[in-house]
Structure 1
C-alpha cells in the first residue's frame, strides 16, 4: 500500500526493485488492493512479478468504492460490482487468476451472503482460488463461511491493536487463518516514526494515535518495545513482528503477518524477524501494552 499511497512520496523503480528483492530472498505472499492508489498498486505488483508468477501467491482486495471521493466512499458488495472488480484486478495485475481474493470491508449495500455468493462464482470460473474477508465480525464470518469456505481473515493486529482476538475463536473453530496487516503499528512500534517530520500526504500525521497527547502517551509503548529489543540484541521492528507470529499457538489459528515496506533494507530486517525468539520475560513485558493505547486507529471512517 505504501508504495502507492497514504505514506508520502514513493518511487516506481525503487518499489519494483524492492518487490523483486523480496522474491529473491524467499517472500512468497504479496498483498495489495484495488483501492491502493486507485489501481496503481496492482499495476505495480503485476510489473514486479513479471516472469515470476509461479513463485508467488497474490492476494488482493475489493469493496471500497472511492469513485465519489474519499469523503463519500462506499463499502460495496453487490454481485455485479464484485465481478467487475475481479476482472479489473486481473487486468491490472496481468495474471489469469488471483490466489486469495478478499472483501475489503463488510458491504453497506448487500447482504454478506450475496457478496460471498458472487465471490464463489469467481472460484467456480477459475478466476480466484481462495476467498477471504477483512475486518469482519464473528457473526458475519459464520454467515459468509456457510455460503463458501473462507480461507483467511485479514485484520489489523499488533502489539497495540488486538480487537481481532474477539473473532479468532470463530476462526479457530472454522479452520480460518489470520493475516495481520500493520503488524508494526504503521511504523510506530519501530520507534522510527517522528510525527513532526511526516510528509503532508502521510495519513499518520492526522492519525489520533500518532498526534497530540495520545501520541506522546503512546511513546511509552514504543519505548518498551525498544527496551526488549535492546536486551535481546535485535531491532524493535523484529520484536513487534516476532510477537505477532508467536500468537498463533495462543490463538489457535495460523498467523501470517504482512509487514509493508518500501525499502530493501527494511525488507531484509523484517524477514530476519522469523528467527527471533521471544523469551518468557519479553512476552510478559509485551503482552499488556495494548491496554496502554490512546487514540483511535483512524482519523475518520477510513479503511486502509
Structure 2
C-alpha cells in the first residue's frame, strides 16, 4: 500500500526494486488491492513481477472503491466479476492466487458476496478466497458458503485485540492468519519521522500517534529496543519474530518502501522472541483507527 498511498509520495522505480529484492530473498507473498492508489498499486506490482510470476503467491482485494466520487464500500455480487477482471488486467496475470473481500459491505450479506467470489474459483480466475477485517460471525458466514483460506486483520505487539475473537475463530475454522501492519504502522521500528507526520500520512489521525498517547507508546518501544539489542536484533525484528512465533498459521505482511528495511524484516524469519513481559499488552495506549474505507474511518 505504501508504494501508492498512506505514507506520502513514493518512487515507482524504487518500489519495483524493493519488490524484486523481496523475491530475491525468497519472500513469496505479495499483497495488494484494487483500492491502493486507485489501481496504481496493482499495475506497479504487475510490472515488478513480470517474468517472475511463478515465484509469487499473489494476493489482491476488492470491496473498497476509490474514484472521483470519493471512497465507498461495494460488495454487490453483480460487481464482483468486473472488479476481478479489472484487477487481472492491471496485474497482467491470468489468475489471482488469493482474492480477498477487502471490507464487508454493510448493505450486502457477506454470504452473497462470497457466493459471487466462489464463481471466480469455478471460472479459474481465482485459486483461493480470503476476507479482511471481519468479526467472527462474518467469518463463519463466509466459510459456510465456500472454503476461506485466509483472514487478514491488523495484529502486532501494539494491537492485540484480535487474539480475543478473530484469531480463535479462524483457528477453529482452519483459516490462515495474515496480520497486516505487524510493525504497528511503523511504531514498533523505533524509527518514526521527526516532527509531525507529513500531509498524506494517515498516522496524523491515528490515536496511537497523537500527543496524548505517543509518549507512553514510545517508552514501550524503547524497552523493546533495549531487549532487542541484547539479542542482537532491531525492535522491528523483535516485533516480527514475536508475531511469527504465534503459530505456523501466521503469515505477517510487513510493508516497506526501503530496500534496507526489507533486508531487516526478512532477517526476522527464524528468530525466537518472547517479549510479553517487556511490553505487556495492557500497557499500550490509544485505540487504532480502523479503515472501513480509507477516508471513511471509524475508531475501535
TM range (shorter): over 0.9
Q: C-alpha deviations, 1:117-151, integer Å up to 9, x for none?
A: 00000000000000000011111111110100000
| Structure 2 unaligned residues grouped into runs of 5+ | 296-300
Could you list the runs of 4 or more consecutive aligned residues of structure 1 that deviate by over 3 angstroms after TM superposition? Answer: 299-304
SS of residue matched to 1:66: strand
Displacement of 1:232 after TM fit? 1.0
2-side partners of 1:223 and 1:163: how far apart? 22
Conserved 8 A contact 1:74-1:108: no
- Asked if 2 retains the 8 angstrom alpha-carbon contact of 1:195 and 1:204, the reply is no
Tell me what 1:276 maps to.
271
| Structure 1 residue 299 displacement after superposition | 8.0
- How far, CA to CA, are the matches of 1:160 and 1:69 in structure 2? 34
SS at match of 1:209: helix
Distance (Å, rounded) in 2 between the aligned partners of 1:300 and 1:22: 27
Q: Is the Cα–Cα contact under 8 Å of residues 195 and 205 in structure 1 kept in the other structure? A: no
- Quote the Cα distance in structure 1 between the aligned partners of 2:102 and 2:292: 14
Q: Deviations over 1:257-276 (max 9, x none)?
A: 00000111110110000132
Query: Which secondary structure state, in structure 2, belongs to the residue aligned with residue 196 of structure 1?
Result: coil
Matches for 1:246-265 after TM superposition, within 5 Å:
246-248=245-247, 254-265=249-260
Are the aligned partners of 2:240 and 2:268 in contact in 1 as well (CA < 8 Å)?
yes
For residue 303 of structure 1, report the CA deviation from its aligned partner.
4.3
Alignment coverage as a number of residue pairs? 294
What residue number does 2:105 align with? 107
2:298 aligned residue: none
Q: Please give the secondary structure, in 1, of the residue aligned with 2:289.
A: coil
The residue matched to 2:111 in structure 1 has which SS? helix
Q: Structure 1: where are the runs of 5+ without partners?
A: none
Does structure 1 retain, via aligned residues, the 8 Å contact 2:57–2:98? yes
Cα 1:77/1:23, change in 2 over 3 Å: same
SS in 2 for 1:186: helix
In the alignment, the residues of structure 2 paired with residue 75 and residue 224 of structure 1 have an alpha-carbon distance, to the nearest angstrom, of 40
Structure 2 Cα separation of the partners of residues 95 and 171 of structure 1: 29
Return the alpha-carbon distance in structure 2 between the equivalents of residues 5 and 218 of structure 1.
25
Q: 1:133-148 maps to which residues of 2 (within 5 A)?
A: 133-148=131-146
Paired residue for 2:285, among 268, 274, 294? 294
Pairwise CA distance, 1:283: 4.0
Is the contact between residue 63 and residue 73 of structure 2 (CA under 8 Å) also seen in structure 1? yes
| 1:50-89 per-position Cα deviation (integer Å, ceiling 9, x unaligned) | 100011010001101233654xx32221112211110110
List aligned pairs for 1:1-20, cutoff 5 A. 1-20=1-20
Measured in 2, the distance between the counterparts of 1:127 and 1:89 equals 10
C-alpha separation between the residues in 2 aligned to 1:243 and 1:41? 29
TM-score between both structures, scaled by the size of structure 2: 0.93
